[in-house]
Structure 1
Amino acid sequence: MITRRTTLGLMASALLPGLARAAPEPPFLRPYLRAQALPDLKDRLPKNPRRINLAAMGRQPGKYGGTVRMLIGSQKDIRMMTINGYARLVGYTEDLKFQPDILESFDVQEGRIFTFKIRDGHRWSNGSYLTSEDFRYTWEDVILNKDLRKGGIQRELLANGEGPVFEVIDNLTVRYTWATPNPDFLPGLAAASPVVILMPSAYMRHFHKKYQDDFRLSALMKRYRVKKWADLHIKMSRQYRPENPELPSLDPWIPRTAPPAEQFVFERNPFFHRVDENGLQLPYIDRFLLNISSSEIIAAKTGAGETDLQSTGVDFSDYAFFKDAEKRYPVKVKLWKRTQGSRLALLPNLNCADKVWRDLFWDKRVRRALSLAIDRREINMVSFYGLARESSDTILPESPLFKPEYASAWASHDPDQANALLDEVGLTQRNGDGIRLLPDGREAQIIVETSGESTLETDVLELIKDHWAKVGLALFIKTSQRDVFSSRTMSGEIMMSMWSGLENGVPTADMNPGDLAPSRDDQFQWPSWGMYYLSIEQNGTAPELPEAIRLIDLVKQWRKTANTEERTRIWHEMLEIYTQSVFSIGIVNATLQPVMHSAYIRNIPQQGLYGFVPTCYLGVYMPDTFWYSEEVS
């Protein structure tokens, strides 16, 4: 007698290569197959699909079917499907090593020559083949087109200020060659918001002036309500925020809803390139429904069983409520570890417009005093039930670069030393309430601004307010809007902000250490200096503090080396400077993030690292391998 298990074994013995000739089709696609709107599975997959051995990963091979409901706070959050879907040319493994994903293979020589091999027979979601022409079109007709890239080539595609030489080797092979090493290239491709070097050329030509006649292009511009052909091309090509259902995709689920809408539908990509060990095409789950809800009530709806998979819009403060929901609904809640260097951090604006405060913030003794005055133990117990780790803003033990001294740098509670440091810088005069006086006679009042999106921020600041009062500093809390936060910080209007700490708290030496240096304009402790670096010295202002200048020099050194040992040395020097200088004041890290899901869904890890970078929230844990069981776990 032939059982289902035997049948799967017979199928597995007929692999081409590694794939069954007659693997079961997803029932969801049967109407398309009956209508001959889709080819059979063997013709939809690459000749060598990416095969995921779930049993070897300690997970269960699954079965097809099911719909997942998720809640999002706004239309722009449909990007979560791109982040969590995590289909990348090159991606991270769970232990943060590079692996080919969409690509069949990649080869790197001297850290500067990157050769990419495309999977033979790989198709876009509309059935058109993925070839080297798609890479050529993206490089020559998009990236090098001044109308489409007015800001020039992205920094991740520059090495020593120069772009690569691009070559088409054959129909399935392309090469990017720089004169010097480019260590940002692979991390850029593996990122949550990846560097785009691949577009579906056959589709995008319809919106490019080089390939479309002027009459038709004008009609398309009118239809999509744009004034320039470049705006049309950009609008129709967005991959990160998938608003165009017609745009061919390589993601596991593809959009079926155009904005505006209150619910966004994503359905399985019939040409997705991954299979499991039994030959079943991934993803297992057929459909995602993303429902827009007010951010303030996402947690309440999650606890009421109105979502099947939820990690965004909820926080550790909701955990007890979610655990109680397990008693009422078939749901489970898991706790993953957030990857930020600090869950919350205070960021003195070294570019603030108030010269008196700017001079004080430039003095590391002041920054150290502010840090030493904080009672992190109290904050941990009150706001995180003692489950977080009291630390400076630095990397986590899960990073191979971690050293305990980075975490402890100026992070103990020592108000006596804090008072001594503030006296040492000359803030010795106080008013009748014990508040120190600035050199110009004003009271030492520090206004800390938050985005107002979380009560956690204000709760923690209320505690810090008492801590700082004991060393003669007055703290005032002011809420701001996220949309204007960056511009107000850049102009110097915000003297100090509360935000999250280092974005990537679990780096390897092969990841860019730019978080530790003024390298971006959204780093609120030095936005103008960050803009100077980001704009290649065209905007913003040059750093003036020696430590900040050294950090920038080290980032530049890191970008020029292909040697892992040298990159490791650079990382450690930067971590030492950053933590000793207290450029951001960390409070606690390794905080816990609830991941709520239906009790019928399998393969969601009990533990994980949760962050935008480098794990792409759920992304590296492969939601395409999640599946519905008929039994509650």
Structure 2
Amino acid sequence: MTSRTVLPAFALICASVLAVLPASALTLKETPSLAPRVGTDLPPVSERVPQEPLIVDLEARGRQIGTPGGKIDTLIGRSRDVRLINVWGYARLVAYNEKLELVPDILKDFIEEEGRIFTLVLRKGHKWSDGHPFTSEDIRFWYEDVASNAELQPSGLPQFMLAGGKPPLFEVIDETTVRFTWDAPNPLFKPELAKSRPPFIYRPAHYLKQFHNRYGDAQKIEKLAEQKKLRSWAALFNKMDDMYDARNPELPSLQPWVRLADDSERRFVLHRNPYYHRIDTAGQQLPYLDSVVMTVADGKIIAAKTQAGEADLQARNIGFSDITILKQGEKFGRFETYLWPISKGSQISLQPNLTVADPVWRKLMLDTRFRRALSLGIDREMINKVLYLGLATPGNDTVLEQSPLYRQEYRELYAGFDPEEANRLLDEIGLTERRGDGVRLMPDGRPLEIIVEATGESQEELDALELVGETWREIGVKLFPKPSQRDIIRERALSGLLVMSVWAGFENGIPTSEMPPEDFAPVRSDFLSWSRWGNWYETDGQTGEKPDWEPAIRLTQLYDDWLTSSSEEERTEIWHEILKIHAEETIHIGLVSEVRQPVVVKGLGNVPKEGIYGWDPGAQFGIHRMDEFYRK
């Protein structure tokens, strides 16, 4: 770890795309529900918001200035999903807007130089949800006392904090300014801060220091650890340091809604943060809604409860198959059902295992003609009509049109239904022998029967496999679906026993060049199409298998090139070569994309009728700024 403190001698000009003005530039209005508390346990709004708050121009984005007050009721399938409040709230140091641009949010400014020097400027007067100042000390505490503490983080600094394997020089410039400087470019740093589950490179130091062995009372820490049946101060600290899971109601937050009481495991009430940093152009502090109520219900009946009008905002635990029943219930339940395209590269993706151990299967799987033939043997239009009422988009598992990296050929190459060409390719490979029922024979005489392993969690996937199997029979390929479990499938992939799996496509189908292409290169062992190669990369060659297939070698090189890139132009060029390789090699066999996610909206304004639904980037409702939703 390298760090030092620098005397204040730094002038900055803000470059945010959103308005950043002193609070005095607007006439601030007190939030009605908070007004009774002013003068007792709360100061007036002018003292609660930062001196330079984030001023949100709703009308410029086609939205309405809302009315503060009211609540949202939503349903969750398990108590741990209360953490979604920190996803949907989506207050981040820098955040994606709906144009997929990274802009300052919690930060007043984010200054990048040479792709390796990052200066973070906080908002003067910004406060945690308990009213304590949010300052550079909170970032210093995280970096020096949490992330760099071997007892709290035995594995060391996270990957996004290393460039060329080295940590940064960390500097505290002044009370609201810090700087991270790496010797080499670090393109991972900025997008990491905007994730649905961000690293929270800041901590409420004033609260957490009491549990840290460097600052707290050792006897009190030991006693509290014993009371909570924890073995060490580090275990206690990590339990209390709960920025994401929302399980510690005492932990101060910067999110729009916070949990104030630990009184239930079935119904969670999240209250507005009175010190939140965003305001609208009418001088009203966001969020508009006073509270979000999350009620636990059996996931199997959430669609029915939503149809009955028990949710004001619902997308979790409902899916495409529920659209018909939801539409039928709109009048009775007094809600609307919006249909947002899901932002995955493909709703369903067949993933040949290129690192399968069986030598005969390995040779086939690594033959580009074989994968192309399998893709050409699928009638995606039929699947779209039968499973998705024709509302989805047939094509490869790749980036979607909403991505600036989209090109039509990435989606369409070898994705048409052409059984004649598929048969020709299989014949060309030498798979000309067939048994009596028309199934081709492999070079060793075994029938060409592909076992496609599925998690068994999705009837939709199994239905799709049945449709794929129907048209594969026309090209002499037999498909056997095999329901299993996630962990077992991953173990079989890593051991080389898996031949093919069915899974959701690339989680992020709307990347920009600034987002890391790790899902598209063999650098992770949890990707079923090349687990053994990914394991080799993850472990620096200690386990797994070194890639011996030229496209995989090139994809790894391109990923490493992205990690050392210093410009958007470089990263864009790298991304396009990666996407071109995927399209030409048919590494994943995607079926359809942009399947609609039903979003039920009851009595709320500013919820977009047309949106995107995804995890990263997107944070589900987060990218659409849930703090701007209001009761009509």
Range class of TM-score, shorter chain: over 0.9
Alignment partner for residue 562 of structure 1, among 566, 577, 580? 566
Alignment partner for residue 482 of structure 2, among 478, 483, 486? 478
Q: Which amino acid aligns with 1:93?
A: N
Q: Which amino acid aligns with 2:347?
A: R
Q: Which amino acid aligns with 1:33?
A: V
Percent of residue pairs bearing the same amino acid type: 45
Residues 156, 489 of structure 1: alpha-carbon distance in 2 compared, 3 angstrom cutoff: same
Contact 2:49 2:125 in 1 (8 A): yes
What is the distance in 1 between the residues matched to 2:152 and 2:544? 24
What is the distance in 2 between the residues matched to 1:63 and 1:447? 56
1:535 shift after superposition: 4.3
Match of 2:613 in 1: 610
Alignment partner for residue 156 of structure 1, among 157, 160, 176? 160
Q: How many residues align?
A: 612
Contact 1:346 1:496 in 2 (8 A): yes
Matched, 1:67 2:74: no
Matched, 1:590 2:594: yes
Q: Which amino acid aligns with 2:65?
A: P
Q: Which amino acid aligns with 1:627?
A: Y
Structure 2 stretches lacking a partner, 5+ long:
1-20
Alignment partner for residue 520 of structure 2, among 516, 519, 531? 516
1:422-445: per-residue Cα shift (whole Å, max 9, x none)? 233333332222222233333222
Q: Which moved more, 1:465-474 or 1:429-438?
A: 429-438
1:107-133: per-residue Cα shift (whole Å, max 9, x none)? 111111110111111111111111111
SS at match of 1:194: coil
Residues 239, 420 of structure 1: alpha-carbon distance in 2 compared, 3 angstrom cutoff: same
1:486-497 residue pairs with structure 2 within 5 A?
A: 486-497=490-501
TM-score by length of 1: 0.93
1:219-234 residue pairs with structure 2 within 5 A?
A: 219-234=223-238
What is the distance in 2 between the residues matched to 1:265 and 1:482? 33
Q: Which amino acid aligns with 2:195?
A: A
Residues 26, 156 of structure 1: alpha-carbon distance in 2 compared, 3 angstrom cutoff: farther
Matched, 1:626 2:629: yes
Matched, 1:239 2:210: no
Matched, 1:185 2:189: yes
1:551 shift after superposition: 0.5
Q: Which moved more, 1:444-453 or 1:62-71?
A: 444-453
Match of 2:38 in 1: 33
Structure 1 stretches lacking a partner, 5+ long:
1-13
Q: Which amino acid aligns with 2:38?
A: L
Contact 1:18 1:51 in 2 (8 A): no
1:196 shift after superposition: 2.8
Q: Which moved more, 1:84-93 or 1:493-502?
A: 493-502
SS at match of 1:103: coil
Matched, 1:528 2:538: no
Match of 1:8 in 2: none
Match of 1:10 in 2: none
1:84-103 residue pairs with structure 2 within 5 A?
A: 84-103=88-107
1:362 shift after superposition: 1.9
What is the distance in 2 between the residues matched to 1:431 and 1:150? 57
Contact 2:49 2:276 in 1 (8 A): yes
Match of 1:122 in 2: 126
1:309 shift after superposition: 0.4
Match of 1:390 in 2: 394
Residues 608, 368 of structure 1: alpha-carbon distance in 2 compared, 3 angstrom cutoff: same
Contact 2:22 2:51 in 1 (8 A): no
Matched, 1:315 2:319: yes
Q: Which moved more, 1:538-547 or 1:133-142?
A: 538-547
Q: Which amino acid aligns with 1:228?
A: S
Residues 538, 203 of structure 1: alpha-carbon distance in 2 compared, 3 angstrom cutoff: farther
Residues 492, 224 of structure 1: alpha-carbon distance in 2 compared, 3 angstrom cutoff: farther
Q: Which runs of 4+ in 1 moved over 6 A?
A: none
Q: Which amino acid aligns with 2:78?
A: S
Residues 219, 548 of structure 1: alpha-carbon distance in 2 compared, 3 angstrom cutoff: same
1:217-366 residue pairs with structure 2 within 5 A?
A: 217-258=221-262, 261-366=265-370
1:79 shift after superposition: 2.6
Match of 2:506 in 1: 502
1:398 shift after superposition: 1.7
Contact 2:128 2:204 in 1 (8 A): yes
Matched, 1:24 2:30: yes
What is the distance in 2 between the residues matched to 1:290 and 1:493? 42
SS at match of 2:133: coil
Residues 345, 61 of structure 1: alpha-carbon distance in 2 compared, 3 angstrom cutoff: same
Alignment partner for residue 555 of structure 2, among 525, 543, 551? 551
Contact 1:352 1:494 in 2 (8 A): yes
What is the distance in 2 between the residues matched to 1:273 and 1:214? 35
Q: Which amino acid aligns with 2:27?
A: A
What is the distance in 1 between the residues matched to 2:551 and 2:334? 53
Residues 489, 242 of structure 1: alpha-carbon distance in 2 compared, 3 angstrom cutoff: farther
Contact 2:356 2:496 in 1 (8 A): yes
SS at match of 2:108: strand
Contact 1:156 1:195 in 2 (8 A): no
Contact 1:243 1:259 in 2 (8 A): no
1:178 shift after superposition: 0.9
Residues 624, 528 of structure 1: alpha-carbon distance in 2 compared, 3 angstrom cutoff: same
1:59 shift after superposition: 0.9
What is the distance in 2 between the residues matched to 1:351 and 1:170? 52
1:596-619: per-residue Cα shift (whole Å, max 9, x none)? 110x11000111121111121111
1:301 shift after superposition: 1.7
1:394-413 residue pairs with structure 2 within 5 A?
A: 394-413=398-417
Residues 345, 535 of structure 1: alpha-carbon distance in 2 compared, 3 angstrom cutoff: same
What is the distance in 1 between the residues matched to 2:357 and 2:65? 58
1:304 shift after superposition: 1.9
Residues 485, 147 of structure 1: alpha-carbon distance in 2 compared, 3 angstrom cutoff: farther
